[in-house]
Chains A and B, each alone.
Chain A
Amino acid sequence: MSTYLYGITFADHPAEVGDLRGIGPSPAPARVLPAGDELSAVVGDVEGELRAKRRDLLAHQEILRALCDSGPTLPMRFGIVADDDTAVAHEIAAKAEVYTAVLRRVSGHVEMNVKVSHREEAVLGQILAGDEEIRNLAAGLREDAGRGEAEQVRFGELVAGRLEEREAEDADAVLGYLLPLASEHSPGPRVDGCFFNCSFLVPKEKTAEFQDAVQRLRALVEEVAEVRVQGPLPPYSFTEDQ
Chain B
Amino acid sequence: MTMATGRSSSGSQLQRGPGTGNLYDILELILDKGLVIDAFVRVSLVGIELLTVDARIVVASVDTYLRFAQACNRLDLTRASSATTLPDLLGEVTEKGAKGKSKGALTGAVETFAEQFQKSSDKDGEEAEERPRGRSRRSSARSSE
- Which chain A residues have a beta carbon within 8 Å of chain B's beta carbons? 5, 7-8, 49-54, 57-58, 60-62, 65, 74-82, 87-88, 91-92, 102, 111, 113, 115, 117-122, 124-126, 128-130, 134-135, 138-139, 141-142, 149, 152-157, 159-160, 163-164, 166, 169-170, 172-174, 176-177, 186, 188-194, 197, 199, 208, 211-212, 215-234, 236-237, 239
Contact A193 B5 (CB under 8 A): yes
Q: Is B94 on the interface with A (CB-CB < 8 A)? A: no
Compute how far the CA of A55 lies from the CA of B101 in the bound complex, rounded to whole angstroms: 51
Assess A219 versus B133: contact at CB under 8 Å? Given A57-B23, A141-B69. yes
Compute how far the CA of A122 lies from the CA of B81 in the bound complex, rounded to whole angstroms: 7
Q: Which of B21, B23, B29, B83 contacts A129 (CB 8 A)?
A: B83
B132 cross-chain contacts in A, Cβ below 8 A: 215, 218-219
Assess A57 versus B48: contact at CB under 8 Å? Given A5-B37, A52-B43, A122-B144. yes
Q: Which of A79, A135, A159, A221 contacts B69 (CB 8 A)?
A: A159
Specify which of B4, B10, B84 lies most central, judged by the most chain A CB atoms within 10 Å of its CB.
B4
Q: Shortest distance in angstroms between B11's beta carbon and chain A's nearest beta carbon? A: 7
Contact A77 B85 (CB under 8 A): no
Specify which of A156, A211, A224, A228 lies most central, judged by the most chain B CB atoms within 10 Å of its CB.
A156
When A and B form their complex, what is the total count of cross-chain residue pairs whose Cβ atoms lie within 8 Å? 301
A159 cross-chain contacts in B, Cβ below 8 A: 65, 68-69, 72
Q: Which of A87, A102, A121, A173 contacts B40 (CB 8 A)?
A: A87
Contact A191 B65 (CB under 8 A): no
B92 cross-chain contacts in A, Cβ below 8 A: 173
Q: Name the interface residues of B19-70: CB closer than 8 Å to any CB of A.
A: 19-23, 25-37, 39-48, 52, 55-56, 58, 60, 62, 64-70
Contact B26 A233 (CB under 8 A): yes
Compute how far the CA of A174 lies from the CA of B87 in the bound complex, rounded to whole angstroms: 8
Contact A224 B84 (CB under 8 A): yes
A226 cross-chain contacts in B, Cβ below 8 A: 4, 10-11
Contact B81 A169 (CB under 8 A): no
A237 cross-chain contacts in B, Cβ below 8 A: 29, 33
Compute how far the CA of A174 lies from the CA of B90 in the bound complex, rounded to whole angstroms: 8
Q: Is the interface of A mostly helix, strand, loop or mixed?
A: helix
Q: Shortest distance in angstroms between A130's beta carbon and chain B's nearest beta carbon? A: 5
Q: Shortest distance in angstroms between B82's beta carbon and chain A's nearest beta carbon? A: 6
Contact A225 B29 (CB under 8 A): no
Q: Which of B28, B39, B68, B87 contacts A124 (CB 8 A)?
A: B68
Contact A224 B86 (CB under 8 A): yes
A128 cross-chain contacts in B, Cβ below 8 A: 72, 75, 77, 80
Contact B48 A52 (CB under 8 A): yes
Compute how far the CA of A149 lies from the CA of B135 in the bound complex, rounded to whole angstroms: 40
Contact A129 B81 (CB under 8 A): yes
Assess A82 versus B68: contact at CB under 8 Å? Given A125-B81, A223-B140. no
Q: Name the interface residues of B95-125: CB closer than 8 Å to any CB of A.
A: 101, 103, 106, 113, 116-117, 120, 124
Assess A135 versus B77: contact at CB under 8 Å? Given A58-B23, A174-B90, A191-B55. yes
